[in-house]
């Protein structure tokens, strides 16, 4: 007998409110404001079901996780999740498993994009769904904290793991060991969230991001999301092989034939520019370039090369391409090589899925990929030296050697 899944997702949950709007955004709201949306076993069981249902429901295009009242979530419910289940192995197993099912399995493996809209307190265990969401937008005054140290446990249930995967080790160590709370702006600066905005703009910015994501082919978006997550733990050879296979699979699976249409519309019909917007989806309106968001990512990718001192003139070599944000672009490399696997998850995924990769060279670990004519300053001198007796350099960015 085949399993019969309900056609319509449930909406009568006790601890979570779920609504899907007409555009396809499913708003999932932790709904225990009187307990600051602390996550109890019931909430975990409900969330596990909700994520399953909306992963496959065609009306849901993007999922937004937020909290009722002044909190996103105050972490695990210390009473119901911990104290009440202490010594009850069965209850513990069930609630720990439900937690795992939605806040890491479903969020990490799901195909639909999930945005954490952090409207207030976010503590401890809430960092698991926060870091595992594909994107996070916080209000400037949201309060974050790794409070485990303050009441006597290690940030467990994979909090420590998602933390070091998302933040720099210095920040992870500092906040986990001091338990100091910090605000939305700081979270953005550290790359814990994509950006923060004043509270009154939080919803509008979240909707703008969701709309932008919905303008992309869902299959291409899902594959891109999976690719970005998977390559983080691969070496270069594995990543190359995996991505080739992924691209080939996508070509066969994409019902919208986005690749074909994209090339036709750009090269033949000249109806859009892939550098600026997505190709219109079949039956949809022509895609507009992404609306200019008032929110600036506060933690842009930094160039690995030292900045010139203030006031010094910035020489720009004619051969170097720059992104709109004015950063160096290793332009000749395929897109996926430009996504450094070590860059914090939320920024990497956001930039890539939105097609707005800041195109900075990676921050560390070996030489940065270079386009022709974009030699980093460190190698200019070496190159110039070897060419001194050779033919004159044709690279516009290499200074003529001193004679
Ligand atoms: N677990 C259980 N109950 C909680 C939690 C929680 N994590 N957070 C808040 N509550 C309850 C409070 O006990 C209180 O219940 P009561 O009204 O029955 O007394 C109610 O929510 C309101 O909490 P207040 O403390 O009165 O709210 P306030 O706005 O003053 O403070 C704050 C909010 C800062 C979030 C505070 O409640 C707090 O520190 N909560 C604990 C945060 C935390 O450390 N979470 C655990 C992280 S570790 C982990 O998740 C594994």
User: For 236-254, how does the pLDDT look when each residue is reduced to its tens digit (9 = 90+)?
Assistant: 999 999 999 999 999 999 9
Between the CA of 219 and the centroid of ligand 1 the distance, in Å, is: 40
Q: Are strands 16-20 and 25-30 parallel, antiparallel or unpaired?
A: antiparallel
**Residues 40, 41, 42, 47, CA torsion sign:** positive
Angle subtended at Cα 51 by Cα 45 and Cα 56, rounded to the nearest 5 degrees: 135
Average pLDDT, integer, range 262-290 = 83
Q: Is the pLDDT of residue 165 over 90?
A: yes
CB-based contact 127:163 (threshold 8 Å): yes
Nearest-atom number in ligand 1 for the CA of 75 is: 50
- Decide whether any atom of ligand 1 lies within 6 Å of the 147 Cβ: yes
CB-based contact 239:341 (threshold 8 Å): yes
21-30, 92-101, 302-311: range with lowest mean pLDDT: 302-311
- Decide whether any atom of ligand 1 lies within 6 Å of the 79 Cβ: yes
Buried b / exposed e across 308-328, counting CB within 10 Å, b at 16+?
eeeeeeeeeeeebeebeeebb
Q: How confident is the model at residue 379 (pLDDT cuts 50, 70, 90)?
A: low
> Which token pair is 389?
């007796």
CB-based contact 180:186 (threshold 8 Å): no
* Burial (0-12, 13-18, 19+ Cβ within 10 Å), 100: middle
- Decide whether any atom of ligand 1 lies within 6 Å of the 121 Cβ: yes
Between the CA of 91 and the centroid of ligand 1 the distance, in Å, is: 22
Which percentage of the chain shows pLDDT scores above 70?
A: 70
> Which token pair is 369?
């990929």
> Which token pair is 258?
């986005």
Answer with the residue of higher pLDDT: 344 or 261: 261
> Which token pair is 276?
């600026």
pLDDT at 327: 44
Nearest-atom number in ligand 1 for the CA of 71 is: 35
Question: Which residues lie below 8 Å from residue 229, measured CB to CB, with a gap of 6+?
Answer: 108, 345, 349
Neighbours of 390 (CB within 10 A): 8
193-207, 215-229, 385-399: range with lowest mean pLDDT: 385-399
pLDDT at 360: 36
Q: Is the pLDDT of residue 392 over 60?
A: no
Q: Is the pLDDT of residue 293 over 90?
A: no
Q: How confident is the model at residue 283 (pLDDT cuts 50, 70, 90)?
A: confident
Model pTM above 0.85: no
pLDDT at 11: 83
- Decide whether any atom of ligand 1 lies within 6 Å of the 175 Cβ: no
Question: Looking at domain 16-214, what is its CATH homologous superfamily?
Answer: 2-enoyl-CoA Hydratase; Chain A, domain 1 (3.90.226.10)
- Decide whether any atom of ligand 1 lies within 6 Å of the 74 Cβ: yes
Average pLDDT, integer, range 338-343 = 39
* Burial (0-12, 13-18, 19+ Cβ within 10 Å), 247: middle
Q: What is the C-alpha to C-alpha distance for residues 390 and 380, in angstroms, rounded to an integer?
A: 15
Answer with the residue of higher pLDDT: 344 or 281: 281
> Which token pair is 379?
């190698």
Q: How confident is the model at residue 2 (pLDDT cuts 50, 70, 90)?
A: confident
Q: Is the pLDDT of residue 306 over 60?
A: no
- Decide whether any atom of ligand 1 lies within 6 Å of the 76 Cβ: yes
Between the CA of 71 and the centroid of ligand 1 the distance, in Å, is: 10
- Decide whether any atom of ligand 1 lies within 6 Å of the 148 Cβ: yes
Question: Which residues lie below 8 Å from residue 179, measured CB to CB, with a gap of 6+?
Answer: 145, 146, 147, 148, 149, 150
Average pLDDT, the chain: 81
Average pLDDT, integer, range 134-148 = 98
Q: What is the C-alpha to C-alpha distance for residues 50 and 328, in angstroms, rounded to an integer?
A: 42
Q: What is the C-alpha to C-alpha distance for residues 196 and 378, in angstroms, rounded to an integer?
A: 35
Q: Is the pLDDT of residue 90 over 50?
A: yes
Q: What is the C-alpha to C-alpha distance for residues 403 and 265, in angstroms, rounded to an integer?
A: 51
Could you tell which of 38, 129, 159 is best to mutate to test the pocket of ligand 1, judged by most ligand atoms within 8 Å of the CB? 38
Residue nearest to atom 12 of ligand 1 (CA): 35
- Decide whether any atom of ligand 1 lies within 6 Å of the 186 Cβ: no
Tell me the CA distances in angstroms from 235 to 35, 89, 243, 245, one per residue in order.
44, 39, 12, 15
Q: How confident is the model at residue 381 (pLDDT cuts 50, 70, 90)?
A: low
- For 60-121, the DSSP string reads -SEEEEEESTTEEE-SB-IIIIIGGGTT-HHHHHHHHHHHHIIIIIIHHH-SS-EEEEE-SE
Average pLDDT, integer, range 166-172 = 98
Average pLDDT, integer, range 159-176 = 98
Find how far residue 227's CA is from the centre of its chain: 12
pLDDT at 382: 58
Condensed to tens digits (0 to 9), the pLDDT of residues 198-218 reads 999 999 999 999 999 999 999
Q: What is the C-alpha to C-alpha distance for residues 312 and 57, in angstroms, rounded to an integer?
A: 56
- Decide whether any atom of ligand 1 lies within 6 Å of the 125 Cβ: yes
Average pLDDT, integer, range 384-402 = 50
Could you tell which of 32, 36, 141 is best to mutate to test the pocket of ligand 1, judged by most ligand atoms within 8 Å of the CB? 36
Q: How confident is the model at residue 393 (pLDDT cuts 50, 70, 90)?
A: very low
Average pLDDT, integer, range 272-282 = 93
Condensed to tens digits (0 to 9), the pLDDT of residues 347-363 reads 545 555 555 433 333 34
Between the CA of 151 and the centroid of ligand 1 the distance, in Å, is: 12
Residue nearest to atom 20 of ligand 1 (CA): 35
Q: What is the C-alpha to C-alpha distance for residues 322 and 357, in angstroms, rounded to an integer?
A: 12
Q: How confident is the model at residue 399 (pLDDT cuts 50, 70, 90)?
A: very low
Q: Are strands 114-118 and 121-123 parallel, antiparallel or unpaired?
A: unpaired
Answer with the residue of higher pLDDT: 341 or 121: 121
Which of 92, 74, 76, 15 shows the shortest CA–CA distance to 48?
15
Condensed to tens digits (0 to 9), the pLDDT of residues 71-84 reads 999 999 999 999 99
Between the CA of 78 and the centroid of ligand 1 the distance, in Å, is: 8
Answer with the residue of higher pLDDT: 206 or 9: 206
Between the CA of 36 and the centroid of ligand 1 the distance, in Å, is: 6
Nearest-atom number in ligand 1 for the CA of 156 is: 51
Q: Is the pLDDT of residue 7 over 90?
A: no
Q: Is the pLDDT of residue 107 over 90?
A: yes
């Amino acid at each position: 007998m085949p399993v019969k899944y309900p056609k319509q997702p449930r909406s009568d949950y006790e601890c979570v409110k779920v609504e899907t709007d007409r555009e396809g955004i499913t708003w999932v709201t932790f709904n225990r404001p009187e307990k600051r949306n602390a996550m109890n076993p019931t909430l975990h069981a409900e969330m596990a079901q909700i994520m399953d249902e909306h992963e496959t429901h065609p009306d849901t295009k993007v999922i937004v996780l937020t909290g009722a009242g002044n909190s996103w979530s105050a972490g695990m419910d210390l009473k119901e999740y911990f104290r009440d289940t202490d010594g009850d192995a069965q209850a513990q197993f069930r609630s720990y498993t439900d937690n795992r099912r939605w806040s890491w399995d479903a969020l990490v493996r799901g195909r639909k994009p999930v945005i954490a809209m952090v409207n207030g307190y976010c503590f401890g265990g809430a960092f698991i769904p926060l870091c595992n969401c594909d994107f996070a937008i916080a209000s400037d005054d949201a309060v974050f904290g790794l409070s485990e140290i303050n009441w006597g446990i290690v940030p467990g249930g994979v909090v420590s793991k998602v933390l070091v995967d998302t933040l720099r080790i210095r920040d992870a160590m500092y906040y986990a060991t001091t338990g100091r709370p910090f605000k939305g702006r700081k979270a953005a600066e550290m790359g814990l969230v994509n950006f923060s905005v004043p509270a009154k703009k939080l919803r509008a910015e979240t909707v703008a991001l969701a709309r932008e994501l919905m303008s992309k082919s869902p299959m291409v978006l899902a594959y891109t999301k999976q690719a970005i997550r998977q390559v983080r733990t691969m070496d270069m050879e594995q990543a190359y092989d995996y991505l080739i296979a992924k691209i080939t699979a996508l070509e066969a699976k994409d019902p919208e034939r986005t690749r074909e249409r994209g090339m036709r519309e750009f090269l033949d019909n000249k109806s859009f520019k892939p550098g600026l917007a997505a190709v219109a989806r079949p039956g949809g309106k022509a895609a507009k370039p992404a609306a200019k968001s008032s929110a600036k990512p506060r933690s842009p990718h930094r160039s690995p090369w030292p900045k010139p001192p203030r006031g010094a003139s910035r020489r720009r070599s004619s051969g170097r391409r720059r992104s709109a944000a004015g950063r160096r672009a290793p332009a000749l490399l395929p897109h996926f090589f430009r996504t450094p696997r070590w860059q914090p998850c939320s920024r990497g995924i956001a930039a890539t899925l939105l097609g707005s990769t800041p195109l900075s060279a990676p921050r560390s670990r070996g030489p940065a990929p270079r386009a022709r004519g974009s030699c980093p300053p460190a190698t200019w001198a070496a190159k110039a030296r070897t060419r001194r007796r050779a033919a004159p350099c044709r690279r516009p960015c290499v200074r003529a050697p001193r004679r």
